Amino acid sequence: MSSARSRRKRDPEIVIARDTDSELSSSEEEEEEEDNYPFSESEEEDEAVKNGGKIELEKNKAKGKAPITVKLIKKVCKVCKQPGHEAGFKGATYIDCPMKPCFLCKMPGHTTMSCPHRVVTDHGILPTSHRNTKNPIDFVFKRQLQPRIPPIKPKYVIPDQVHCAVIRYHSRRVTCLEFHPTKNNILLSGDKKGQIGVWDFGKVYEKNVYGNIHSVQVNNMRFSPTNDDMVYSASSDGTIGYTDLETGTSSTLLNLNPDGWQGANSWKMLYGMDINSEKGVVLAADNFGFLHMIDHRTNNSTGEPILIHKQGSKVCGLDCNPVQPELLLSCGNDHFARIWDMRKLQPKASLHDLAHKRVVNSAYFSPSSGTKILTTCQDNRIRIWDSIFGNLDLPSREIVHSNDFNRHLTPFKAEWDPKDTSESLIVIGRYISENYNGTALHPIDFIDASNGQLVAEVMDPNITTITPVNKLHPRDDVLASGSSRSLFIWRPQDKTEMVEEKKDKKIIICYGDSKKKGKKQKRGSDDEDDEDDIFSSKGKNIKVNKYQAKTTKKTKT
């Protein structure tokens, strides 16, 4: 029990609900800095390395002394297998393999530690050539649309404090999030296993998990524009589900694998999905490059699938323009984001192809005017096109940002703040960690897309996992994050404190792990009788001193 008390002392704002787990090892850990870092100065070792390691040295034979046998295991870098250096974490700081290009900007000649994009506040914008402003449409845009966009940027409100959380809510990692269109405290979450969670984070304890909708990962969810209770979901099982959140009843609107498993080469998966309410269609795209459409009123598919990306390549995302219903944006594994005219949907008939260097995880029109485009690419760059009416050959800005592909992680996607009328604030999780007072944490970055400035980096010492899934609330100053199997709700610090004065404190609920859940899977919804498991892994007792989201400076080591 003393451990629980001491944790509270360190982190007074967090109340652990249902703390049945009393064996939290009190945290004497960190800062032990066992300096065994394998750059040994010993002659023997140097020689050993020269000789290719793993050797036996026999000394002083001639002098008749007993032979000294020294066995050395060859120390090689786990990344490049070369001796002389080692890559990996040293404490909370990751040492790159010098033989590899920089893990952040991908340029050779330096490592991530010394990458110029790592330490600067503007995250390294790469300016592109000057825009062509002679375009007449651009002129119209500047006269008619631009005045609506306020010239002065609002002061950003950053939700930087964990307000509440459900730990290990899902049994597999979270893949997508969606806020309810009208109920402010309802968050939908999809996971790798195909389950969809409905969480009332206002009441914190109220949650529901639907496990019967999909058999594998949910890639996208959208509420019906005509009925708040109904949700469309696209899954790697090749189906679009249509679920009533009140009753849990679900129907399948589209099934791309009606004949079941015929091998990996033919199994279709659905990724990007969006709804065009003007046209009354649900759009979804598969991993073979095709776009599928479903009539939203009859719930029947309309027409044949259309090839919109390279044949056989995955379409990662779809986005309908919020202002111009004729405009559709897609992105995919063929390294392109494409702008489409809905009236002219046919192969190779896109209005524009936005070239990228790697897979494009996401592409979004800006939320209010629909005139900007934001993409997230696996080449560790966020790209912004400031006007779809201008010259689209090159992005207006490229922002170097750590959001690599990793098979174990849900792909990173930069998301607009839907409340920011200046259409500049974006949020995206960061892959690489920073050393925050001895703890490796992966922050969530708020970036001003208009200039590449890092506005804020938010993190919580209890969240040691990478947080690739983030969504900003459409109306409130709330950030929802999916990190591994857990969900987090962030609110601005000052507001949180106001709430705390009159109400209780932040609550973190913890549920049992997936194994335990297996025994009573049938009940699907409430597993509250499961044993709690409070931050059971490394994060629980980390000592991190006060940090400030807006002005955080990394502790360099």
Partner DNA sequence: AAAATATGCCACC
Partner DNA sequence: TGGTGGCCCTATTT
Residue 439 sits in the site that holds DNA (CB under 7 A): no
Least distance to DNA, CB of residue 359, Å: 5
Number of residues that bind DNA (CB under 7 A): 45
- Subset of residues 303 to 332 that bind DNA, contact rule: CB under 7 A: 311-312, 314
- Type of residue found at 480: A
- Provide the token pair at 545: 């001193």
Q: Per CB under 7 A, does 257 bind DNA?
A: no
In angstroms, the CA 467 to CA 539 distance is 14
Does position 336 interact with DNA (CB under 7 A)? The reply is: no
If one asks whether residue 505 binds DNA (CB under 7 A), the answer comes out as no
The residue among 485 and 491 lying less far from DNA, judged by its C-beta, is 485
384, 397 in Cβ contact below 8 A? yes
Q: Assess 168 for contact with DNA (CB under 7 A).
A: yes
Beta carbons of 21 and 534 less than 8 angstroms apart: yes
Nearest approach, Cβ of residue 198 and DNA (Å) = 21
Choose one: 142-150, 196-204, 399-407, 454-462; the region binding DNA (CB under 7 A): 399-407
Q: How far is the CB of 412 from DNA (least distance, A)?
A: 12
Strand, coil or helix: 244:
strand
- Closest CB to DNA among 367 and 438? 438
How many angstroms separate the CA atoms of 488 and 470, rounded? 9
| Distance of alpha carbon 199 from alpha carbon 511, whole angstroms | 14
Q: Does 27 bind DNA (CB under 7 A)?
A: no
Amino acid letter, residue 118: R
Full strand arrangement of the beta sheet holding 196-200: 174-179, 186-191, 196-200, 206-210
| Contact (CB, 8 A) for 370 and 382 | no
Kindly give, in sequence order, each residue whose CB lies less than 8 Å from that of residue 105, ignoring residues fewer than 6 positions away.
115, 116, 117, 124, 380, 400
3-class state of residue 318 by DSSP: strand
Interaction of residue 515 with DNA, rule CB under 7 A: yes
Minimum distance of DNA from residue 215's CB (angstroms): 10
Choices 99-107, 148-156, 337-345, 447-455; region in contact with DNA by CB under 7 A: 99-107
Nearer to DNA, 89 or 139 (CB): 89
Paired with 400 in beta bridges are: 381
Please say which residue, 295 or 513, places its beta carbon nearer to DNA: 513
CA distance 479 to 424: 16
Residue 519 sits in the site that holds DNA (CB under 7 A):
no
Contact yes or no for 224/230 (Cβ under 8 A): yes
Which range in 9-17, 133-141, 243-251, 406-414 contacts DNA by CB under 7 A? 406-414
Tell me how far apart the alpha carbons of residues 78 and 435 are, in angstroms, rounded to a whole number.
21
> What is the C-alpha separation between 52 and 83, in angstroms, rounded?
8
Q: Binding residue for DNA (CB under 7 A) from 222, 485, 506, 540?
A: 485
Stretch that binds DNA, among 61-69, 251-259, 417-425, 480-488 (CB under 7 A): 480-488
Residue with Cβ nearer DNA (80 or 137): 80
**The one among 224, 396, 433, 496 contacting DNA by CB under 7 A:** 433
Site string (107-146) toward DNA, x via CB under 7 A: -----x----------------------------------
Which positions from 177 to 216 touch DNA by CB under 7 A, shown as an x/- string? Answer: ---------------------------------------x
Q: Nearest approach, Cβ of 497 to DNA (angstroms)?
A: 29
Least distance from DNA to the Cβ atom of residue 536, Å: 7
Judged by CB under 7 A, the chain residues 214 through 253 that form the site for DNA are 216, 236
Q: 411: closest CA among 314, 491, 284? A: 314
Per CB under 7 A, the list member of 465, 474, 499, 555 interacting with DNA is: 465
Instruction: From residue 222, give the alpha-carbon distance in Å to each of 40, 283, 477.
Output: 57, 11, 21
Which of 534, 537, 530 shows the shortest CA–CA distance to 514?
530
Q: What is the DSSP string of 379-406?
A: TTEEEEES-TTS--SS-SEEEE------
- Give yes or no for residue 265 binding DNA (CB under 7 A): yes
Buried-exposed string 415-434: b where 16+ CB fall within 10 A, e elsewhere = bbbbbbebbbbbbbbbbbbb
Which chain residues interact with DNA by CB under 7 A? 78-79, 87, 89, 94, 96, 100, 103-104, 112, 168, 173, 216, 236, 265, 269, 287, 311-312, 314, 333, 358-359, 378, 405-409, 431-433, 440, 442, 464-466, 483-485, 513-515, 536-537
